[in-house]
Structure 1
Amino acid sequence: MPWTLPSRPSRRSLLAGAAGAAGAALLAGCSDDRPAVGETGIPLERRMREAAVRDSARLLERYDATAAAHPALAARLAPLRAAVAAHSAALALTPAGSPSPSASPSAGTGAAAPAASGEPVPPKPADALTALADAERSLSEARTIDLAGAPGELARLLASVAACGAVHAYLLTSTPGAAS
């Protein structure tokens, strides 16, 4: 009698297949709970935090340069600049709560500096505010993109800082005291 394939799989073969598939899925989802380390040997989270701190420092330089070029805007910029400085400090902290080795203690000292990347501050106050808003918006968008690769807690922090940057961009380009 020739051997023929059964019309349907046996219960035993279905259970074995399901167990194998579940085991493979579990193994594929396992991780060693260590941060990803690139070719540099520096954990991903630390590299991302250091880059975020550098970006915040450049934004602080833009705030300082704008306030120095347009002293009449200094009071309007002060609370926004303070928030950017607070973001920089929060990003500089490692998950354990100790400062990152690259965190600059001089960040946020209020000393006037040239605008980031050597860009001059526009001569008109309205244009200077627009340029600062563009810098906030650009950094907010970059941080939103970075969320995809960031570890959990850092992703939440980047999302909060990105949202705040978007609000700063709005506040910089809105007319103070105007009713909506």
Structure 2
Amino acid sequence: MRRTGTTRRGALTATGAFAVGAVLAGCGGDTDDTGSGRKGSAHSGARTAADGTSSVRTEKALRTSASRTTATLLAGYEHVLTAHPSTATALTPLRDAVRAHLKAVTPGAAPALGTARSRAAGPAAAVKELAAAERAAADAYTALLLEAPGELARLLASVAAACSAHAYLLTELAKETPA
């Protein structure tokens, strides 16, 4: 294996820093709309109850969206592993991680894995497509972070960072995979 300018440790450090930044950006102060910082009025109590109901609905919708993204990604891994068995050694640990992500973000029963068809003729091109799918998934999770409440935001940031690391590893694997 030839050395590149970017090491695996450097890539994981960068994605970890990205995740921490995303989590910290999601953390904010807990003051009311007047900016006085006082809490406890009847209006703020009613607003908190309404926000709690809305937050539960929002969290469920965000988890559903994230689980669809993850199920599509997992279907892509399954298709590539079936079509190109020579990639199994390298792709199986990544697929298993995506399966764990699906379990973590799914609000209830796991969604059906749709059909993901690769247009790639060879294993190297199929791995490149998986890398692109991982980058797209990382972008989707990052976009969901803007609306997610605290704990879900941390989970989505972690999954987005993992997808970024997977995309890097798959890009390097594609360079080493025979066409």
Fold equivalence (TM over 0.5): yes
Distance in 1 (alpha carbons) for counterparts of 2:70 and 2:38:
37
Contact 1:133–1:173 (CA under 8 A) maintained in structure 2: yes
Q: In the TM superposition, what is the alpha-carbon distance from 1:142 to its structure 2 partner?
A: 1.4
* Structure with more relative contact order (C-alpha pairs < 8 Å, separation 6 or more): 2
The C-alpha deviation readout for 1:110-167, integer Å capped at 9, x for no partner, is xxx741xxx4341111110000000000110111121111101000000000000000
2:35 paired residue among 15, 22, 25: 25
Letter in 2 for 1:35: G
Contact 1:66–1:128 (CA under 8 A) maintained in structure 2: yes
Secondary structure of the equivalent of 2:100?
helix
Is 1:128 the counterpart of 2:126? The answer is yes
Q: In the TM superposition, what is the alpha-carbon distance from 1:24 to its structure 2 partner?
A: 3.0
Structure (1 or 2) with the larger CA radius of gyration: 1
Match of 1:168 in 2: 166
Name the one with the larger helix percent: 2
Contact 1:35–1:45 (CA under 8 A) maintained in structure 2: no
Paired positions, count: 137
Distance in 2 (alpha carbons) for counterparts of 1:157 and 1:23:
28
Letter in 1 for 2:52: P
Structure 1 residues 47 and 28: alpha-carbon distance in aligned structure 2, compared to 1, 3 A threshold: farther
Unaligned runs of 5+ in 1: 1-21, 93-99, 108-112
Structure 1 residues 36 and 145: alpha-carbon distance in aligned structure 2, compared to 1, 3 A threshold: farther
Distance in 2 (alpha carbons) for counterparts of 1:57 and 1:105:
7
Distance in 2 (alpha carbons) for counterparts of 1:67 and 1:137:
19
Match of 2:20 in 1: none
Is 1:149 the counterpart of 2:147? The answer is yes
Distance in 2 (alpha carbons) for counterparts of 1:71 and 1:28:
61
Match of 1:64 in 2: 78
With normalisation by structure 1, the TM-score equals 0.66
Match of 2:110 in 1: 104
* Pairing 1:9-20 to 2, within 5 Å after superposition: none
Q: List 4+ stretches of structure 1 deviating above 3 A.
A: 26-31, 33-36
Is 1:43 the counterpart of 2:53? The answer is no
Unaligned runs of 5+ in 2: 1-31
Distance in 1 (alpha carbons) for counterparts of 2:147 and 2:170:
29
2:96 paired residue among 52, 67, 82: 82
Distance in 1 (alpha carbons) for counterparts of 2:110 and 2:133:
21
Structure 1 residues 26 and 32: alpha-carbon distance in aligned structure 2, compared to 1, 3 A threshold: farther
Contact 1:73–1:125 (CA under 8 A) maintained in structure 2: yes
Match of 1:13 in 2: none
Give identity over the alignment, percent. Answer: 40
Structural RMSD (CA): 2.9
Contact 2:73–2:133 (CA under 8 A) maintained in structure 1: yes
